[in-house]
């Protein structure tokens, strides 16, 4: 199971139900009230490929439910998978030139292996600057690594920089209280504003950029009001 360490690292370092693609560091925002979204992406790590799909809905206006997962392949053969379920709410919605605070709790598991299932929670705090042209996101939380019977502090620091009316630059770093942090940079672009978005990223670990680097290509679809 060559992909298992990579999948578990991504799931425990930063929960998979992350901020709007392509960020790993989560934001103090929710899917629009009464609407749903689908975040999907291809994660490329050498000969290893991961196909992710994370549907999410916010039927009541302040409680977003995400349920999805991934299939992982190496040399064109399926080798492992991942599943994620998460609930997220806001204590203070993010406002222009203000800040927002939320709470997310979830459960990330490799299907068919209950001892690798990791419950987690984290608090996303976001800050809007310069009329939303710069938005900073911070995360602080805990994940329970059941296989090792250990609690790990998780953290993230990310930024969104508006480059044009439809395009954004993202940059972030994230990690745990143990081990070397990761980083990621990328761009997102709205094809149809507030409904269809594409993105791409490059990321790696600080102590082995050439050995651990990855690329991703993503598509995000947001529905009109359904509920």
Write out pLDDT tens, residues 25-60. Answer: 999 999 999 999 999 999 998 878 889 999 999 999
Q: What are 157-202's pLDDT values in tens digits?
A: 999 999 999 999 999 999 999 889 999 999 999 999 999 999 999 9
Q: What is the pLDDT of residue 209?
A: 86
Q: 80 versus 100: which is more confidently predicted?
A: 100
Q: What are 125-148's pLDDT values in tens digits?
A: 999 999 999 999 999 999 998 878
Q: Most confidently modeled of 14-18, 82-86, 152-156, 211-215? A: 152-156
Residue 149 has pLDDT above 90, yes or no: no
What region, left, alpha or beta, does residue 132 occupy, with left being phi > 0 and alpha being psi -120 to 50 degrees? left
Q: Give the fold, CATH level 3, of 4-222.
A: Porin (2.40.160)
Task: For residues 72 and 42, give the distance between their C-alpha atoms in angstroms, rounded to a whole number.
Answer: 10
- Angle (CA) 99-101-105 rounded to 5° is 155
What average pLDDT does the structure give for the chain? 87
Q: What is the pLDDT of residue 115?
A: 56
Task: For residues 80 and 72, give the distance between their C-alpha atoms in angstroms, rounded to a whole number.
Answer: 5
Q: Please, which pLDDT band fits residue 13 given cuts at 50, 70 and 90?
A: very low
What region, left, alpha or beta, does residue 191 occupy, with left being phi > 0 and alpha being psi -120 to 50 degrees? alpha
- The answer to which of 93-102, 131-140, 210-219 has the lowest mean pLDDT is 210-219
Distance of CA 11 to the CA centre of its chain: 9
Q: Could you tell me if 109 and 118 are in contact, meaning their C-beta atoms sit under 8 angstroms apart?
A: yes
Task: For residues 23 and 39, give the distance between their C-alpha atoms in angstroms, rounded to a whole number.
Answer: 11
Task: For residues 164 and 173, give the distance between their C-alpha atoms in angstroms, rounded to a whole number.
Answer: 23
Q: How far apart are the first and last CA of the chain?
A: 41
- 47-54, Cβ contacts within 8 angstroms, sequence gap of 24 or more: 47/74, 47/75, 48/2, 48/3, 48/6, 48/72, 48/73, 48/74, 49/73, 49/74, 50/3, 50/7, 52/16, 54/16, 54/17, 54/84
- Domain positions in the chain are 4-222
Distance of CA 176 to the CA centre of its chain: 15
Which of 142, 128, 219 has its CA nearest to residue 176? 142
Burial of 193 (0-12, 13-18, 19+ CB in 10 A): exposed
> What residue spans of 85-189 are helical by DSSP H?
none
């Amino acid at each position: 199971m060559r992909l298992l360490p990579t999948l578990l690292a991504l799931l425990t370092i930063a929960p998979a139900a992350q901020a709007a693609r392509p960020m790993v560091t989560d934001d103090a925002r929710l899917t629009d009230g009464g609407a749903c979204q689908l975040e999907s992406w291809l994660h490329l790590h050498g000969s290893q490929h991961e196909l992710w799909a994370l549907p999410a809905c916010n039927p009541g206006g302040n409680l977003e439910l995400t349920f999805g997962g991934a299939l992982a392949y190496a040399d064109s053969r399926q080798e492992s998978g991942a599943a994620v379920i998460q609930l997220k709410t806001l204590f203070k919605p993010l406002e222009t030139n203000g800040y927002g605070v939320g709470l997310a709790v979830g459960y990330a598991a490799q299907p068919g292996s209950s001892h690798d299932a990791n419950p987690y929670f984290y608090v996303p705090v976001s800050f809007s600057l310069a009329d939303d042209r710069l938005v900073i996101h911070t995360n602080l939380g805990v994940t329970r690594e059941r296989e090792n019977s250990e609690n790990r502090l998780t953290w993230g620091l990310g930024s969104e920089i508006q480059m044009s009316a439809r395009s954004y630059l993202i940059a972030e770093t994230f990690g745990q209280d143990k081990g070397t942090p990761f980083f990621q940079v990328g761009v997102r672009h709205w094809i149809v504003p507030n409904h269809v978005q594409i993105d791409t990223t490059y990321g790696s670990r600080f102590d082995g950029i050439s050995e651990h680097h990855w690329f991703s290509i993503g598509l995000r679809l947001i529905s009109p009001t359904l509920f």
